[in-house]
Structure 1
Amino acid sequence: MTPRTVTVRVPAKVNAQLAVGPARPDGFHDLANVFLAVALYDTVTVTPADELRITCTGPDAAQVPLDRTNLAARAAELLAARHGIEPNVHIHIDKDIPVAGGMAGGSADGAGALLACDALWGTDASQSQLLDICAELGSDVPFSLVGGAALGTGRGEKLTPLEVGGTFHWVFAVADGGLSTPAVYREFDRLTPDASEPVASPALLDALRTGDPKALAAALTNDLQPAALSLRPSLADTLETGRQAGALATLVSGSGPTTAFLCADPESAQQVAAALTASGTCRTARITSSPAPGATVLPV
């Protein structure tokens, strides 16, 4: 018997390295994108319905589209179309990942809905088939499905799992408002007309493998950071606050405007989060760790 309701938990991500190449003819950019899943999660619950509909709760729920532009709705439609069924399902998103914050919250919801609908409908898709649909949905969606750590190449959708030798401690400072990912890439193109082909950093991959936070801190890079700072100069104050509070490294998360702070240990993370909260340079600060598992069906 197929279940009457399925709930999937799916993580946010941080880009330990985001190396961006020149714009391709199709408008995308080749990337060397080192993803780390972090333990901030959305949960996606699906139940049978008379038609496809989406609801959302959580701190940023008002910013989440509830129509068919939502990746969760598109995931249900694509899976249903492949199996000749109607996507008649109620998708409820309990959102805890910042919206439009460079942490792949929308991608996470797409991956979560895809896995949940597969379980609800008993379509028994293989992981390879699910990943194909994820890649059709968006560049970050495949990683949201698999989690852990991975190198994303192409536009980020071609994944190679990476070994991680320990737990890394992070603070994320959530900004007011979002940043448009396409706008950040356009600004990158303007600022970097001579972008080179992206290559994964051997030092960063080694730091992940050995679990060394200081070595990882020295290797963190984000080619989109100058563009994000150009569009949102106030983020520089947030980054400086975290640095002065003792973070090992600071960077804009993905296309921003969320900023990420790598810390030596949980105590340091508490200190950095408190300083960020008190500074008034961000809306809130979240403490978490990586790596985290990918999309996971929760027990009923």
Structure 2
Amino acid sequence: MSISPTPDPSPPLARARGGRGTEVLTQIARAKINLTLRVTDRRADGYHELESLVVFADIADTLTLEPAGHVSVAVTGPFADVIGAASDNLIVKAFDRLAALMPGLKGGRFNLDKHIPVAAGIGGGSADAAAALRLLARLNDLSFDDARIMTAALQTGADVPVCVGSRACVMTGIGERLTPPLDLPALPAVLVNPRVAVATRDVFAALGRAGLPQHADRLGDVPRGFDGLIDYLHGHGNDLTDAAIACAPVVGEVLAALRALPGVRLARMSGSGATCFAIFSSASEAEAAARALAGRGWWVTPTILAAAP
């Protein structure tokens, strides 16, 4: 496994007092945005090989951990009522995978304040699991670059390793190979989710029926300037878009609405959907776009897509 260790992406660890004087540890779980996504192969085990340029948004969940003798997860926040067992159990799964590598691992009560839409193609569950691993590393005085952290991350889910560091990079394989962090410009953007959950397995099944796309080239060097990066992104898309639209036609409606906005530089779907994003030249344009999309019943938020927290 060739994952480069990365530093803790969160601000200095927040601590608060919990019950009986225990310390409550806090981590931020930022949404992952696939600026590009190529499906390069299907492996014999059924997993797909990917190549994706990833950045992180400032929309995030917050995860806290209060040390205790047992592990539990409680969920609050705007998406608490729609979070499914598969999503919140990624936190428990991350604990279990790390505990298998570290007998005697200390855990506790996790509390998740859920602000990232569920099954939305922006890595909410994966970001939560990665935040759980960072919290466990802190609680157990484990060096953040300990290889067991990233081993447990990959065993938890394909998108978890990139969320551990939450820094812009190109990820390949099934998510286990990450380039060193990239220095990219901040990208003012608006995120839109039509409040329709799209199962990743259904999207990949639709892609399989249509046939894997063929690519003659690789991503290559990623430009560091804003205009150069936008031009580059126009040449590298998301191979899952048509498959996602086949599963949820509203994704096409969202993309059409984003592409019609004044000042939009690029509109695209992230991951396997259904969340889409549009990039603008300024934060004020992104905020205006968010206001223009209000009233449709969609989840809409302006954000900054950044290379690092």
Question: TM-score range, shorter-chain basis?
Answer: 0.7 to 0.9
Q: Is the 8 A contact 1:34 1:200 kept in 2?
A: no
User: Which residue is 1:262 aligned to?
Assistant: 279
SS at match of 2:308: coil
Q: Please give the per-residue CA displacement for 1:106-142, whole angstroms capped at 9, x wherever unaligned.
A: 0001000011012112233534331121111111101
Q: Residue 120 of structure 2 contacts residue 197 of structure 2 at CA under 8 Å; is this kept in 1?
A: yes
**Normalised by the size of structure 1, how large is the TM-score?**
0.88
Q: Which has the higher contact order (CA 8 A, sep 6+)?
A: 1
- Rounded to whole Å, the distance in 1 between the matches of 2:233 and 2:79 is 30
Q: Partner amino acid for 1:234?
A: V
User: Equivalent of 1:232, from 221, 226, 248?
Assistant: 248
Q: 1:30 aligned to 2:49? A: yes
- CA 1:197/1:236 → structure 2, altered by over 3 Å: closer, same or farther? closer
Deviation of 1:198 (Å): 8.2
Match of 1:215 among 231, 240, 243: 231
Q: Secondary structure at the match of 1:289?
A: strand
Secondary structure of the corresponding residue to residue 44 of structure 1: strand
Q: Deviations over 1:122-164 (max 9, x none)?
A: 2335343311211111111011111121111111221002423
Conservation of the 8 A alpha-carbon contact between 1:30 and 1:197: no
State the match for 1:50 in structure 2: 69
1:1-300 counterparts in 2 under 5 A?
4-65=23-84, 70-85=89-104, 88-124=107-143, 126-192=145-211, 194-196=212-214, 200-202=218-220, 205-206=222-223, 209-212=224-227, 214-246=230-262, 247-278=264-295, 280=296, 282-291=297-306, 293=308
Paired residues of 1:67 and 1:73 also in contact (CA < 8 A) = no
Structure 1 residue 66: Cα displacement: 5.3
Q: Distance in 2 between matches of 1:88 and 1:67?
A: 20
Deviations 1:56-108 (A, max 9, x none): 11111122245897111111122223221165411111111111110000000
- The CA RMSD over aligned residues, in Å, is 2.3
Contact residue 41 and residue 50 of structure 2 kept, 8 A = no
Q: Tell me the distance in 1 between the aligned counterparts of 2:267 and 2:290.
A: 13
Between 1:24-33 and 1:76-85, the stretch displaced more is 76-85
Rounded Cα–Cα distance in structure 1 between residues aligned with 2:252 and 2:72: 40
Contact 1:101-1:257 at 8 Å conserved across structures: yes
Q: Deviations over 1:1-20 (max 9, x none)?
A: x9732111121111111000
Deviates more, 1:2-11 or 1:89-98: 2-11
Checking the alignment, whether the CA contact within 8 Å between 2:219 and 2:236 is kept in structure 1 is no
Deviation at 1:214, TM superposition (A): 3.6
Gaps spanning 5+ residues in structure 2: where? 1-14, 16-21
Contact 2:36-2:54 within 8 A present in 1 as well: yes
Residue aligned with 1:240, SS = helix
Flag the 1:69–1:174 CA change in 2: closer, same or farther, 3 A.
closer
Looking at structure 2, the residues matched to 276 and 199 of structure 1 have their Cα atoms a distance apart, in angstroms, of 36
Q: Distance in 2 between matches of 1:92 and 1:41?
A: 14
- In structure 2, the partner of 1:297 is none
Letter in 2 for 1:168: L
- Whether the 8 Å contact between 2:67 and 2:106 is mirrored in structure 1 is no
Q: Deviations over 1:267-293 (max 9, x none)?
A: 211222122224x2x522111112153
State the distance in 1 between where 2:177 and 2:146 align. 14
Q: Give the Cα separation in 1 of the matches to 2:79 and 2:42.
A: 32
Q: Hey, what's the Cα distance between the residues in 1 that align with 2:87 and 2:238?
A: 31
Instruction: State the secondary structure of the residue aligned to 1:8.
Output: strand
Alignment TM-score, normalising by the size of structure 2: 0.85
Question: What residue identity is the alignment partner of 1:147?
Answer: S
- Distance (Å, rounded) in 1 between the aligned partners of 2:307 and 2:28: 11
CA drift of 1:170 comes to 1.1
The one-letter code sitting in structure 2 at the alignment partner of 1:126 is: D
Report the number of matched residues.
Answer: 287
The one-letter amino acid of 1:171's match is V
